[in-house]
């Protein structure tokens, strides 16, 4: 390994180490993006909820749904004409920033609830299928500072919980009062809005909540806000819980090491510096080490020389008959290939076709046919006959 290469490698390693050290000692900026992923530790992830769900649902059986709700519930439906119901009972649970449940799954959830089950959905908004089927409307209002959220039933919880970071003003602007029970509100400086309702649907119930941030890491760990989440979830009937962490199992994000590197500022720039350095190294190294490309002479075409040599040999030997026969064969083959003329019978029809296709003087063509027939009849020729035949053939085949 040359000294220059060693210098390049030491420089790149030093730069990468420096970037990693600087990044490691730099304060990490807080990621306030709403993740709602059960593996995410950022403020608006659901890792704490995932770890504490057993405490929220004491005595309940919790099953995580790792496919779409349609695939999960449809597998448990008994299609027997005498039964026509689900083999399982319980509550479907989903918490997300916005509704990401596909239409087929939304329809399946409606059907599941109508058969005497429940669904708890905490989202800022809901699918058109649910909105139309349940007869609700959701709107958003903007507020300056914070909101206070609380439950309608003071016997369940009489406290108000302040929420500021990340929360939204989504609320239920209309619903069917005959089928709906208001369970909770949130208020701003000037107004109060409904944010938690229970809707009767078929033989079951929907529990709809528009403040999903209450279940994220930030609010479960901040002050005593976990009590609000606990009281909201207490409305879910005891039994089986079918937990659908949508952002986790439907994510298409890669788990490759490169994704990990690019997600950290220091490692990302170290990777970029490494790539740029390698490209520069390869460019300069290739420029210095490129071998001289030798000049390769093209192969000479010796066919013409060979033909001349053979022709001269025949001519010097005085073998005019053989040369004339080869000339005749060449001439007729040329007519067949270039002009598609049948050369089997050298008659008047042949002479006319050659005249029409080559455009040469018919007298010249007649002379060529005469010389060919004479040669093939006698098989005796002189040097003068050879020269005469050669001149006639060349005149016929020469380009205009």
Which pLDDT score is estimated for 174? 95
In a domain, 169, yes or no: yes
If asked whether residues 78 and 195 sit together in one domain, one would say yes
If asked whether residues 232 and 377 sit together in one domain, one would say no
Question: Which is nearest to 374 in space by CA: 156, 366, 286?
Answer: 366
Q: Which residue has the higher pLDDT, 165 or 15?
A: 165
Strand partners, 161: 149
If asked whether residues 145 and 165 sit together in one domain, one would say yes
Which pLDDT score is estimated for 273? 84
Q: How far apart are CA 13 and CA 99, in angstroms?
A: 47
Mean pLDDT calculated for residue range 314-340: 80
Most confident of 118-127, 281-290, 382-391: 118-127
Mean pLDDT calculated for residue range 93-102: 91
Q: How many CB atoms are located within 10 Å of the residue 272 CB?
A: 13
Q: Is the pLDDT of residue 1 over 60?
A: no
pLDDT digit string (tens) for 172-192? 999 999 999 999 999 988 789
**Final residue of a structural domain among 233, 261, 296:** 296
Which pLDDT score is estimated for 250? 53
If asked whether residues 342 and 269 sit together in one domain, one would say no
Most confident of 150-159, 244-253, 391-400: 150-159
If asked whether residues 229 and 364 sit together in one domain, one would say no
In a domain, 311, yes or no: yes
At 382, is the pLDDT very low, low, confident or very high (cuts 50, 70, 90)? confident
DSSP 8-state class, residue 28: P
Q: At what angle do helices 226-233 and 47-56 cross, to 10 degrees?
A: 50
If asked whether residues 136 and 212 sit together in one domain, one would say yes
In a domain, 37, yes or no: no
Q: How far apart are CA 306 and CA 354, in angstroms?
A: 31
If asked whether residues 206 and 150 sit together in one domain, one would say yes
If asked whether residues 111 and 127 sit together in one domain, one would say yes
Task: Assess contact for 146 and 163: CB atoms under 8 A.
Answer: yes
Which pLDDT score is estimated for 371? 87
Hey, which bits of the chain come out as E strands? 61-64, 77-78, 85-86, 91-95, 118-122, 137-140, 147-151, 161-163, 170-174, 180-187, 192-201, 204-209, 240-243
In a domain, 38, yes or no: no
Which domain, by its residues, includes 216? 47-250
**For residue 191, with 0-12 CB atoms within 10 Å meaning exposed, 13-18 middle and 19 or more buried, which class applies?**
exposed
Chain centroid to Cα 190, Å, comes to: 48
In a domain, 215, yes or no: yes
Tokens found for residue 306: 């060979």
Mean pLDDT calculated for residue range 371-399: 83
DSSP 8-state class, residue 386: H
If asked whether residues 214 and 288 sit together in one domain, one would say no
pLDDT digit string (tens) for 106-154? 999 999 999 999 999 999 999 999 999 999 999 998 877 789 999 999 9
Give the number of domains in the chain.
3
At 252, is the pLDDT very low, low, confident or very high (cuts 50, 70, 90)? very low
Which percentage of the chain shows pLDDT scores above 70? 85
If asked whether residues 194 and 317 sit together in one domain, one would say no
If asked whether residues 15 and 152 sit together in one domain, one would say no
Which pLDDT score is estimated for 253? 43
Task: Assess contact for 266 and 24: CB atoms under 8 A.
Answer: yes
**Final residue of a structural domain among 267, 296, 325:** 296
Which DSSP string do the residues of 42-56 spell out, in sequence order? STTSSHHHHHHHHHH
């Amino acid at each position: 390994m040359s000294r220059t290469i060693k210098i390049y490698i030491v420089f790149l390693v030093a730069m990468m180490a420096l970037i990693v050290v600087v990044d490691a000692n730099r304060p990490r900026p807080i990621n306030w993006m709403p993740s709602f992923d059960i593996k995410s530790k950022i403020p608006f992830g659901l890792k704490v909820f995932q770890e504490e769900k057993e405490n929220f649902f004491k005595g309940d059986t919790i099953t995580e749904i790792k496919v779409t709700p349609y695939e999960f519930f449809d597998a448990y439906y008994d299609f027997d004409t005498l039964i026509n119901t689900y083999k399982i009972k319980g509550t479907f649970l989903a918490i997300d920033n916005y509704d990401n449940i596909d239409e087929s799954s939304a329809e399946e959830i409606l059907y599941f609830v109508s058969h005497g089950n429940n669904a708890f959905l905490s989202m800022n908004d809901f699918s058109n299928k649910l909105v139309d089927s349940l007869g609700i409307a959701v709107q958003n209002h903007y507020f300056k500072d914070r909101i206070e959220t609380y439950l309608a039933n003071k016997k369940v919880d009489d406290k108000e919980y302040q929420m500021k970071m990340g929360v939204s003003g989504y609320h239920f602007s209309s619903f069917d009062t005959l089928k709906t029970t208001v369970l909770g509100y949130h208020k701003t400086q000037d107004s109060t809005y409904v944010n938690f309702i229970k809707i009767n649907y078929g033989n079951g119930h929907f529990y709809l909540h528009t403040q999903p941030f209450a279940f994220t890491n930030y609010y479960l760990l901040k002050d005593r806000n976990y009590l609000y989440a606990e009281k909201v979830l207490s409305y879910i009937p005891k039994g089986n819980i079918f937990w659908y962490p949508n952002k986790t199992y439907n994510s298409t994000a890669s788990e490759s090491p490169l994704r990990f590197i690019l997600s950290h500022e220091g490692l990302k720039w170290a990777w970029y510096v490494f790539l740029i350095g390698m490209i520069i190294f390869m460019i300069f190294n290739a420029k210095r080490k490129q071998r001289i490309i030798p000049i390769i002479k093209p192969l000479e075409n010796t066919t013409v020389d060979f033909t001349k040599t053979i022709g001269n040999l025949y001519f010097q030997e005085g073998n005019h008959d053989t040369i004339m026969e080869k000339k005749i064969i060449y001439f007729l083959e040329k007519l067949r290939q270039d002009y598609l003329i049948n050369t089997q019978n050298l008659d008047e029809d042949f002479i006319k076709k050659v005249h029409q296709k080559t455009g040469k003087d018919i007298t010249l063509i007649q002379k060529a046919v005469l010389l060919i027939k004479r040669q093939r009849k006698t098989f005796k020729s002189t040097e003068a006959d050879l020269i005469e035949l050669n001149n006639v053939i060349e005149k016929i085949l020469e380009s205009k």
